[in-house]
Amino acid sequence: KQEVTQIPAALSVPEGENLVLNCSFTDSAIYNLQWFRQDPGKGLTSLLLIQSSQREQTSGRLNASLDKSSGRSTLYIAASQPGDSATYLCAVNQGGKLIFGQGTELSVKP
């Protein structure tokens, strides 16, 4: 059974810092991996989607990497801003279903 784990569960950083969020999964037979952002009480906003054949994807200050063989993905946020404060979720697509990690709650202090 696929299990997705995110570390750390919570992270607090001062504004301007670069940071890395980690996601690991137990079964490497995935179709793709996706990173989402969720603000309190809101739905999900898709940030980056990495296909299983890809190694990384970039969008603005965000860079996501995927090492399928080791079951790991990282989300790198450059020059963090208070507006980046949210919960970040990773999800692996296996058989058309998304399996989510528990999320990392990020707080960026001004």
The residue ranges that bind another protein (CB under 8 A) are 31, 34, 36, 41-46, 49, 89, 91, 96-103
- Between 45 and 107, name the residue whose CB sits nearer to another protein: 45
Q: How far is the CB of 71 from another protein (least distance, A)?
A: 17
16 vs 42: CA distance, rounded Å: 25
Q: How far is residue 66 from each of residues 12, 31, 42, 51, measured CA to CA in Å?
A: 24, 12, 27, 9
| Backbone φ, ψ for residue 81 (5° rounding) | -125, 155
Q: How far is the CB of 81 from another protein (least distance, A)?
A: 22
DSSP state of 83: G
> CB neighbours (10 Å) of residue 77?
21
b/e sequence 44-57, b meaning 16+ C-beta within 10 Å: eeebbbbeeeeeeb
Q: How far is the CB of 87 from another protein (least distance, A)?
A: 9
- Between 8 and 16, name the residue whose CB sits nearer to another protein: 8
Q: How far is the CB of 18 from another protein (least distance, A)?
A: 25
- Between 31 and 79, name the residue whose CB sits nearer to another protein: 31
- Between 7 and 79, name the residue whose CB sits nearer to another protein: 7
